[in-house]
Amino acid sequence: MTDNIRTIFNRIAPVYDQLNDWLSLGQHHVWKEMTAKWSVAKPGDTSLDLCCGSGDLSFRLARRVGRNGQVYGVDFSSQLLEIAKKRCQSQYPQPKITWVEADVLSLPFEDNQFDAATMGYGLRNVTDIQRSLKELHRVLKAGAKAAILDFHRPSNPQLRAFQQWYLGNLVVPIANNLGLKEEYAYISPSLDRFPTGNEQREIARQVGFAAATHYPIANGMMGVLVITKA
């Protein structure tokens, strides 16, 4: 990841959760619950949450793996990790969550270490999608699944036009009111560069995943890539 993207996420950290609630009308909680479910994390599993941000998906994984499981939440933003740690201490005192500051392009874990993994709104921001998926493939155990939630470009022209209007006329102005216009204006151009669901599936297969399915949600404006290691 670039230092520029890291700086963006460090700056938005204090209002990250509040903005997510406003901008998704609270729906991001539903999408994250679906993502955690599709990871098929089970009681006792060792699971991984990449680009964990303030911890939403990490906490969901922790509830699924239970007291005998282990969760590693990884992010390159030290500010977001600090918020995740504080949330964990105040709201989730029991889960075994280890917070790790690291780049998803070079994970500090052994091969074949994890039973399940998630990533929320991170794949679109990495500088090398193929390399990040290859690293994820490396650290997953055979048969393990990963579920990756992110924005998606709808194939329907009307919905695509609505998405562009929404980002330009709602997201950016709200961010602007908080002094974060530049930090949120990057979403639309990053989405233009982001591979479609079918392209994501193909990249996943190229790096070695045995199965890859992309589920469009929110009328195709979001999507979850579910991949399985052979």
For the stretch 53-93, pLDDT in tens is 999 999 999 999 998 999 999 999 999 999 999 989 877 65
185: confidence class by pLDDT, cuts 50, 70, 90 = confident
For the chain, how long is the longest CA-to-CA vector?
47
Q: Is residue 178 part of a domain?
A: no
**CB–CB of 62/96 below 8 Å?**
yes
What's the total number of domains in the chain?
A: 1
Identify the CATH number of the domain in which residue 144 sits. Answer: 3.40.50.150
Long-range contacts of 175-183 (CB under 8 A, 24+ apart): 175/19, 178/15, 178/19, 180/11, 180/12, 180/15, 182/8, 183/8, 183/11, 183/12
3 state SS of 229: strand
Q: Is residue 201 part of a domain?
A: yes
Q: Is residue 32 part of a domain?
A: yes
Q: Is residue 161 part of a domain?
A: no
pLDDT at residue number 13: 60
189: confidence class by pLDDT, cuts 50, 70, 90 = confident
Residue 181 vs residues 84, 135, 178, 215: alpha-carbon distances, Å: 24, 32, 8, 30
Q: Is residue 167 part of a domain?
A: no
3 state SS of 48: strand
Residue 9, classified by CB atoms within 10 Å of its CB into exposed (0-12), middle (13-18) or buried (19+), is buried
Question: Is the predicted pLDDT of residue 95 greater than 70, yes or no?
Answer: no
Percentage of the residues of the chain whose pLDDT score is greater than 90? 66
pLDDT at residue number 108: 98
Q: Is residue 186 part of a domain?
A: no
pLDDT at residue number 171: 79
Q: Is residue 180 part of a domain?
A: no
Residue range of the domain that includes 107:
3-15+26-153+195-229
At residue 229, what is the residue type? K
H helices then E strands: how many in the chain? 11, 7
pLDDT at residue number 22: 67
Q: Tell me which H or E stretch contains 71.
A: strand 70-75
- Residues 35, 175: Cα–Cα separation, whole Å: 26
**CB–CB of 132/195 below 8 Å?**
no
For the stretch 158-177, pLDDT in tens is 999 999 998 888 877 877 77
Q: Is residue 183 part of a domain?
A: no
